[in-house]
Amino acid sequence: MQFSEPSINPERYSADNLLRLSCAELLLGMFVYELDCAWSKTPFPMDGFHVKNVEDIEVLTKYCKHVVIDTNKGVQPRKGRKEQLTILSSARRAAPNSISIKVNRDAYPVTRSIKQEIDKAHRLHLTLKTEFTAQALGVRNGEDMDMLALQKSIDGVISSVIANPQTHIWLLNTDPEDKADTHYCVRAAIWAIVLARQVGLPEREIKILGLGTLLADIGMQLLPERLVNKQGPFRKKEFLAYRKHVDFGLELISHYPDLDNQVSTIIKCHHERQDGLGFPRKLRGKQIPLLARFANVAYCFERLLCSNGKGASTPPSKALTKLYKQRTLKFPEQLVVELIHVMGTYPIGSLLTLSTGEVGLVLEQNLQERLSPKIAVLTDTEKNLLKDPVVVDLANQGKSKIDRSIVSSYKSKNPAKGLGDGKDLDPRNYSFSFFGKRVGFGSFSVRL
């Protein structure tokens, strides 16, 4: 079987379940994930579709030569040839090895509980978002950046992450704020800091990583808005224009000679890939600087979380699964494993389907039993929203009349539909619901 070279945007095919086929090889029941032409020129839905009849194949043949199918959602190719077809299977074997990173998970002990830290952490998130959004807009308008203000804001977040990273994982997974165009940069920076703390990087390097990851896409502010707001894959000319944001970012940073050189290195290399298919220099394996690898993982994870678009999001556990499938090709497997370790099998702030049919929200990890976290049961067995959620420790159910276990991650089938008092099964509705009542005002408040 023949297939063309990977698209100009190879990230789209770096998953075991995505296979590229010619239209002549399509079978009824296959799920078409992507076309080699513009979706808008075809009569098919842009979010993919199942091949239901021969007419679908005939129409497809008129518009394109190849398609990408998702074997998780539809029929697989004949004779179990998946291993031969998967781009990932051969590409992973050809990818170079990376330098092993020395990991010290005990470098930073947890010093504050989520209840103690959540309000402070939330203020730090808001401050960093507001500061960076304003400065990014200033860059678009030709103004200089205030690096001292950005560094001060990012340093505050770093101190809080060191105190308790789970607080920030919770906030990122239950973020109720509408996401501005620049918020993904802030979120990626925080993911990078969480991962760096997990690995045990020195605090000085974490500060460089935080600022560098925050500024990694600052050059995007100098691109045309149609590229910045582009939905879906780029065409070749669009992708070549998009790549220039790295050069624009380096040019902007060159005006601040007091910045550590590693900040520029992160900006220059955060799109490089382990297998050499990144840009702008196509670096491979050990050629990619260490901190740039952290930034790459953080941005990729953030993109996976937000990959559904239109306000929807991918459950964190599923995003981690997708990230793991991209190991060795895009970044070292070791970093992905460490991110999974700090996030947990079921990250806090994520929804779960329970064996009882109820839906639960993860509140706290259990380090001894990863599959049995503390949860809040949000619905009854018929998925009706409970007025008063029930907090349950799955690792210590004792003599409870109901024996609950986790079946899978949960995703609402109709996130636009409200339940009960208008709340949907959305973690963003529960950001501050389970950590005590807030007493006081601002920085002088406490939770009881």
Whether 433 is covered by a domain: the verdict is yes
As beta bridge partners, residue 406 has 354
Query: Which stretch of DSSP H or E encloses residue 352?
Result: strand 351-354
* Total number of domains constituting the chain: 3
Nearest to 346 by CA among 302, 316, 314: 316
Residue 64: domain span: 17-85
Residue 93's pLDDT is 60
Whether 37 is covered by a domain: the verdict is yes
Which DSSP state fits 22?
E
Per-residue pLDDT of the chain (448 residues; tens, 9 = 90+): 333 333 334 334 445 678 888 887 888 778 898 888 888 777 787 778 888 766 678 778 878 888 988 887 777 776 544 444 455 555 556 666 666 788 999 999 999 999 999 999 999 999 999 999 999 999 999 999 999 999 999 999 999 999 999 999 999 999 877 667 889 999 999 999 999 999 999 999 999 999 999 999 999 999 998 888 777 788 888 889 999 999 999 999 999 999 999 999 999 999 999 888 899 999 998 899 999 999 999 999 999 988 654 455 788 888 888 888 888 888 888 999 899 899 988 899 999 999 999 999 999 988 777 778 999 999 999 989 998 999 999 988 877 778 888 888 887 665 444 444 445 688 888 888 888 777 666 655 666 6
Q: Do 332 and 236 fall into the same domain? A: yes
Q: Do 21 and 78 fall into the same domain? A: yes
Show the tokens assigned to 86: 């998967």
Return the C-alpha torsion angle 63, 66, 72, 77, nearest 10.
120
Q: What is the CATH number of the domain that holds 159?
A: 1.10.3210.10
Q: Do 128 and 27 fall into the same domain? A: no
- Taking the mean position of all CA atoms in its chain, how far away is CA 177? 17
Residue 247's pLDDT is 96
Whether 259 is covered by a domain: the verdict is yes
Q: What angle do CA 161, 163, 168 make, to 5 degrees?
A: 35
Alpha-carbon gap, residue 177 to 169, rounded angstroms: 15
Whether 7 is covered by a domain: the verdict is no
Distances (CA, A) of 270 to 6, 35, 165, 329, 412: 21, 28, 23, 14, 33
Query: What is the end-to-end Cα distance of the chain in Å, rounded?
Result: 64
Alpha-carbon gap, residue 171 to 93, rounded angstroms: 37
Whether 226 is covered by a domain: the verdict is yes
Show the tokens assigned to 75: 């029929």
Q: Do 172 and 290 fall into the same domain? A: yes
Alpha-carbon gap, residue 145 to 67, rounded angstroms: 44
Distances (CA, A) of 228 to 39, 130, 159, 220: 20, 19, 32, 7
Describe the chain by its helix, strand, coil percentages, rounded to 5: 45, 10, 45
Q: Do 155 and 287 fall into the same domain? A: yes
DSSP, residue by residue, 358-413 = -EEEEEE--SS-TT--EEEEEE-TT-PEEEEEEEEETT--TT-SS---EEEE---S
Q: Do 374 and 313 fall into the same domain? A: no
Q: What's the residue count for the chain?
A: 448
